[in-house]
């Protein structure tokens, strides 16, 4: 376990700001009280010495006279040094009484009053930090919302004097409002893009097919139509991938139980035709892997992984793709853990330093950048977005002998 960034030791939580402020208040109060006691004792000691010398006089400033006569409490007459010793004893007894009364009892009183001051400091610090707690609670509710953009409807709306805390709350509200407007624009784009972008491509495909199937169409027109249809299909896949990427970047709100074993079996059956055409053998090992989420997005995650393994393979008829799903239990008694979907494939060697950029949009290895290519460069970026939206992640590593091993990890659901 590691502590928060900037903490002094891993796993150790720093005291709260309220506790630190209370500690500062109490320490300052005790230091001021001790200083006051010390200064009071010094002044008393100085005044005591001065009062004795002023009352009885002296040969030198601050010293008692050598020749003096006193009568003690018992009626004895004290002369000279005996009288001086008697006065010194009286002075010391008064000083001891002062030390007992001022320092000892004063220290006890200081501790009691200090405890009261610390308690009051705790209450005052709590009242001062209450607006900050409100800011923190609002930020926590926004970050913990099931869907990130839905939590942006909340505002702090802090009332009170125009101080630094209110300025912080107002700035936070302004930031959240701007984020909310940005998410609204993104939602409108995702809602409208499907119709606005797909409709022209659908019309283009219909017109090209109509021209190709005319009786008067020449072979050149048919060949040109096939090329245009392939380009049009690639654009349709590109738009679908972009829309899916935009959708999958939001955390999933409505989750339903999904067994990835069923998804794996369904995707392998779906891609069987493309695998046969490419001369790729697909090996399936669908073990139980219960999770929760959006079934369509999880299907797209597995489909992109399998499709990526088929398309980026050896191409010599000896290539293969292995698809496996399983549950990894790491809690006591088999509880907890996660589920995994692992797709490995043969193919060209992939340098380890090139793997991180494969998960970025429109980043591909090799020269597969022609307009008639089947890939759009969005497959693995969609996989990562879907995994993150479900609270998981995806990793990849080079396979010994060429190809990749890609593992998607998702939270384990109820069986």
pLDDT digits (tens, 9 = 90+) for 141-194: 777 665 555 567 777 777 777 778 788 888 888 888 888 787 777 667 766 766
pLDDT of residue 251: 56
Q: 379-389 and 295-311 are packed helices; what angle lies between their axes, rounded to 10 degrees?
A: 150
pLDDT per residue over 373-407, tens digit each? 455 567 788 888 888 888 889 999 999 888 999 99
pLDDT of residue 246: 64
Beta strands 281-286; 320-328: pairing state: parallel
pLDDT of residue 69: 55
Which ranges of 163-258 does DSSP label H, i.e. alpha helix? 164-212, 219-248
Cα R_g (the chain), whole angstroms: 41
Residues contacting 377, CB < 8 A, separation 6+ = 361, 362, 363, 364
- With a cut of 50, list the residues of the chain below it in pLDDT: 1-11, 59-62, 367-373
Residue 181 and residue 186: Cα distance in Å, rounded? 9
Q: In what order do the strands lie in the sheet with 404-411?
A: 281-286, 320-328, 338-345, 404-411, 393-398
pLDDT of residue 162: 78
pLDDT of residue 302: 93
Which DSSP symbol is given to 103?
I
pLDDT of residue 1: 41
β-strand partners of 409? 340, 393
């Amino acid at each position: 376990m590691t502590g928060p960034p900037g903490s002094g030791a891993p796993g150790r939580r720093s005291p709260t700001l309220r506790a630190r402020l209370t500690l500062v208040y109490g320490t300052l109060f005790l230091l001021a009280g001790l200083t006051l006691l010390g200064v009071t004792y010094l002044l008393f000691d100085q005044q005591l010495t001065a009062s004795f010398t002023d009352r009885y006089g002296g040969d030198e400033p601050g010293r008692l006279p050598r020749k003096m006569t006193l009568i003690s409490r018992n009626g004895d007459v004290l002369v000279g040094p005996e009288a001086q010793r008697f006065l010194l004893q009286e002075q010391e007894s008064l000083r001891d009484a002062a030390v007992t009364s001022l320092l000892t009892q004063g220290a006890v009183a200081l501790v009691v009053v200090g405890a009261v001051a610390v308690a009051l400091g705790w209450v005052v610090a709590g009242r001062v930090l209450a607006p900050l707690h409100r800011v923190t609670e609002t930020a926590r509710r926004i970050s913990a919302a099931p869907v990130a953009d839905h939590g942006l409807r909340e505002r702090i709306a802090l009332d009170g004097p125009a101080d630094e805390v209110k300025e912080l709350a107002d700035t936070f509200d302004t930031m959240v409002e701007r984020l909310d407007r940005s998410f609204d624009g993104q939602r409108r784009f995702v809602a409208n893009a499907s119709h606005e972008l797909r409709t022209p491509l659908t019309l283009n495909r219909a017109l090209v097919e109509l021209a190709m199937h005319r009786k008067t169409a020449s072979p050149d027109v048919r060949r040109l139509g096939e090329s245009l249809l392939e380009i049009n299909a690639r654009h349709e896949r590109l738009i679908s991938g972009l829309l899916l990427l935009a959708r999958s970047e939001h955390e999933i709100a409505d989750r339903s139980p999904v067994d990835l074993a069923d998804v794996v079996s369904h995707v392998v059956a779906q891609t069987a035709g493309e695998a046969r055409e490419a001369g790729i053998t697909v090996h399936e090992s669908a073990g139980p892997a219960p999770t929760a989420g959006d079934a369509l997005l999880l299907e797209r995650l597995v489909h992109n992984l399998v499709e990526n393994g088929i398309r980026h393979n050896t191409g010599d008829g000896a290539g293969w793709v292995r698809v496996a799903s399983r549950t990894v239990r790491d809690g006591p008694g088999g509880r907890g853990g996660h589920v995994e979907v692992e797709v490995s494939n043969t193919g060209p060697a992939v340098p380890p330093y090139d793997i991180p950029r494969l998960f970025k949009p429109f980043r591909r290895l090799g020269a597969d950048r022609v307009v008639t290519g089947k890939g759009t460069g969005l497959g693995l970026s969609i996989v990562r977005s879907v995994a993150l939206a479900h609270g998981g992640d995806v990793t990849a590593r080079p396979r010994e002998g060429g190809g990749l091993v890609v593992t998607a990890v998702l939270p384990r659901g109820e069986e």
